[in-house]
Amino acid sequence: MRLAKPAQFAAFGGAAVFLILLFSQISSNQPISELPNRMGTAAALFRERISGSLGRGNIKSMMETSEKLWLKTVDQRHEYRQRFPNMDFFPARDVHTYFTYLASIWDLIPASYNCPWEVERIGRMGDGGKWVCGMSRYEKNKKPCIIYSFGVQNESTWEQEMLERTNCEVWGYDFSVDNFGPQILDKERPRTHFLKAAIGSETDTTKSPPSYTIQDLMAKNGHDYIDILKVDIEYAEFNALSALNSYTQKQQIQMPIGQVLIEIHLMVGQGLTAPVFLDWWESLEYRGFRSAWTEPNLLVVTLGLEGRMPAYAEYTWVNVQDPKNILWK
């Protein structure tokens, strides 16, 4: 969560762009009800491909078990969607509606995939900290890993702790500030790279500040892979990840990200509906992302934002179709 003036959100484009990108990925002749089988097939092919390279047999077993647990929640989600195809994000507002609608949007997308390692909260307590799956794996990794951080504002305790405890380098982007927050120590600064820019569905370097897609930033930096992507960009997450999803599918390549730490913003007035949001979520599940941790951001309620609905939530996704992912080694 990053509090900002409403005008700042205009840099990321409207909901219409997001919808165009989304529905270009989900064919009308491939209903949502077919996604579990397609997802399961993709995951099975991945496991078969990397089974010989996994250094620990119990990791493969844990992945198989977690996939079954995840598929269970997918089936439950689809059953609920069939019962309530036009549900609201938070439909239960009183006793009467509670007995009709037992689930909110967050109940339909639980963190049902178990991280095969420890899960640790990195950064400060409260808003700004993030849950990382397998922090010890990044600490022990001898190769410099690559971290992208979208949405910095003036709070960089997460980035500082990642720099302090690993040999990762961090690329940061935020159109509202000129650099990382003051929490980054001078000794860590050489491993940081900052650009004042927005993240969205299109690249436009004529703007001030400019805007970039994820794939164009990677090309600009000479990267073909991101170990950890942190995303906190106030609704622009939908356009940015939809654009990357579409691009990688056209290129017939895997999503080049091992782990995503994302805050999702269901913002009032942006035109997003629960069915469209769930389609977006499932389009990324199809590409291999599994939710391994979640944390509600209740500041949106206590500060009286978004109609006092719990519209913001943190998620940790791991990419199970990624053969480069350090979590599976």
Q: How far apart are CA 175 and CA 156, in angstroms?
A: 15
Give 45's pLDDT tier (boundaries 50, 70, 90).
Answer: low
Average pLDDT estimate for 132-142: 95
pLDDT of residue 25: 46
Contact assessment for residue 32 and residue 183, using Cβ atoms and an 8 Å cutoff? no
- Position 54 pLDDT exceeds 60: no
pLDDT of residue 41: 57
- Position 286 pLDDT exceeds 60: yes
pLDDT tens-digit readout, 91-102: 998 888 888 888
Q: How many CB atoms lie within 10 A of CB 187?
A: 9
Q: Residues of the chain with pLDDT > 70: what percent?
A: 83
Q: What share of the chain is helix, strand, coil (3-state, %, to 5)?
A: 40, 20, 40
Structure-model confidence comparison of residues 9 and 83, the more confident one: 83
pLDDT of residue 30: 47
3-class SS of residue 82: helix
Tokens standing for residue 271: 């035109």
Structure-model confidence comparison of residues 11 and 211, the more confident one: 211
Give 72's pLDDT tier (boundaries 50, 70, 90).
Answer: very high
Task: Specify burial of residue 251 (Cβ count, 10 A radius: 0-12, 13-18, 19+).
Answer: exposed
pLDDT of residue 197: 97
Structure-model confidence comparison of residues 50 and 253, the more confident one: 253
- Position 255 pLDDT exceeds 80: yes
Predicted model pTM = 0.83
Q: How far apart are CA 87 and CA 90, in angstroms?
A: 8
3-class SS of residue 205: coil
Give 40's pLDDT tier (boundaries 50, 70, 90).
Answer: low
Q: How far apart are CA 152 and CA 233, in angstroms?
A: 9
Closest alpha carbon to 168 in 188, 195, 194 = 188
